[in-house]
Structure 1
Amino acid sequence: MIEGISAITLATHEMSRAVRFYRALGFEILHGGEESSFTSFRAGTSYLNLIAQPAERRWSWWGRVIFYVTDVDALYNRALAAGCQPTTTPRDAEWGERFFHLTDPDGHELSFARPLLPV
């Protein structure tokens, strides 16, 4: 039986840029850093990892990572203040979450969401 996701690892062509991006959003760095080939951040009880890849290694759209956060609107405002350009504004979805989307500097699509309280 699958119990959960321990971590997700995303590729990057520029570790220093990627580390600065995720730190600006509030991710806590646990291992590695801007000069490392592998960096790990805390994501609740799980982990978000970054792994450096050579410039010639390319990828196309692969999907989306969804992170639950305490306050969707506060994180959206933090992203804007950090110079990020989210691809959507926060909204309440018909499936019962408030969310917004943001693409990281390497093209990985991220969603930050919070379940809506039942009415």
Structure 2
Amino acid sequence: MTTSTPRFDAIGMTVADMAASLAFYRRLGLDIAADADTAPHAEAPLPGGLRLMWDTYDTARAIDPDWTPPQAGAPTGLAFACADPAEVDKVYAALTDAGYQGDKAPWDAFWGQRYAVVRDPDGHGVDLFAPLER
């Protein structure tokens, strides 16, 4: 008899507006099919074989009728590595100029990174970072 160990495979998020959420993550470079905007479930491949998945609130309620949306600013957060400190500034500016909420403007963090935080349409914090040049 063989036993197996579960393998970490995906990160799932529940979203109020699929098209709005996917538009945000496309701006961060994720490859998401255009027809996913109207789907109840969407996925994007991530480096290393992981996937990022989105489900609509209606999908969550179909699975669990008692499900309720998380509070805005829930602890779920994702982090995107940028090529360099200038890219952190550029991506932050592009997202906030597009109307997304900036949570923490780019700054040189004491741990040695250029670092910023924006909120996706559902209030999830999304970190942008790059090592500071030495």
Q: Which runs of 4+ in 1 moved over 3 A?
A: 42-47
How many residue pairs get matched?
Answer: 115
Where do 5+ consecutive residues of structure 2 fail to align? Answer: 1-7, 62-66
Say which SS state the counterpart of residue 84 (structure 1) adopts: coil
Deviations 1:21-73 (A, max 9, x none): 22233322158611111212344444322111238621132242222122211
The structure 2 residue matched to 1:19, chosen from 19, 22, 40, is 22
Partner of 1:64: 77
* Contact in 2 for aligned 1:32/1:38 (Cα 8 Å): no
Q: Which has a greater percent of helix?
A: 2
Q: In structure 1, how many angstroms separate the alpha carbons of the residues matched to 2:19 and 2:34?
A: 13
Which structure's residues are more often strand, by fraction? Answer: 1
SS where residue 32 of structure 2 aligns? Answer: strand
Identity %: 26
Distance 2:105 2:132 in 1: 16
Larger radius of gyration: 2
Deviates more, 1:70-79 or 1:52-61: 52-61
Aligned to 1:85: 101
Cα 1:116–1:87 change in 2 (3 A) is: same
Out of 73-82 and 22-31, give the one that drifted further: 22-31
Contact residue 32 and residue 39 of structure 1 kept, 8 A: no
Q: Which consecutive unaligned segments of at least 5 residues does structure 1 have?
A: none
CA deviations 1:75-108 (Å, max 9, x no partner) are 1122133222311111111111111101111121
3-state DSSP of counterpart to 1:94: coil
